[in-house]
Amino acid sequence: MDNSTDNKSILDIFQGSTDQLTSGGTISIPDLLLAIGIAFLVGIFIFYVYKMTFTGVLYNRNFNVSIVLLTMVTTLIMRTVTSNLALSLGMVGALSIVRFRTAVKDPMDTVFMFWAVGVGITLGAQFYLLAAIGSLAIGAFVYIMYLIRGHGSYAYLLIVRHDFESTNEVTYALRKLPKGSRLKSKTVSGSGIEVVMEVRLPGENTNIVNELLRIEGVFDATLVSYQGDYAA
């Protein structure tokens, strides 16, 4: 067999494989707009679930808006990746060098980010019904957990400084705090006692501070917004 013929056949095989990798599939503009439109609607749904169930100290609207954009951008990337194999490999390499420096303080924020990315991937793969049903199920679960934790209440740190003579009265007043309140720290010094309690008050009812200040011997009482693991 002629070596030149063998070499030509091998080159043809490699050439055919290269053409197959680099040949891009056609992207239908109506399908692309449909996927991005559904991504926007699902992103708005995630937006409202996050806003409705947020229990942190400071609500960040910019983060919530970025969830909607993240859903749409992920959908666009997935539609591009599924149309061209070579482009998908290059995009994986490009995304692998991206580093995000923004610290996510609340674990629930990370959950919502993965929710948005997961929906974007699903919509990019054109599983529209799966994305819709999955989002409704996740949203319902998040809302149920929000109700179980106790909506309409806010977590605080209650800091009370008082003298030694008023210890019994302050202790009695602290026992009347809502169920689930717990002692975080107690400091005794030559000038008096400082007690730090973790409490969850309904709504914005902060009358407990005024009641404590009426006790003779209480120097001051302070409520500080608190975000952390709270045992309801």
Q: What is the mean pLDDT of residues 133-162?
A: 83
Whether 101 has a pLDDT exceeding 90, the answer reads no
Q: Whose structure tokens read 């717990």? A: 182
Q: Are strands 218-225 and 153-162 parallel, antiparallel or unpaired?
A: antiparallel
Class for the domain spanning 153-225: alpha beta
Q: Whose structure tokens read 């005024």? A: 210
Structure confidence by residue, pLDDT tens digits, 175-213: 888 777 888 888 998 888 999 988 877 666 677 888 888
**Rg of the Cα atoms in the chain:** 29
**62 vs 206, higher pLDDT:** 62
DSSP 56: S
Q: Which one-letter amino acid corresponds to residue 155? A: A
CA distance 151 to 56: 12
Please, where in the chain does CATH 3.30.70.260 lie? 153-225
Average pLDDT for the chain: 77
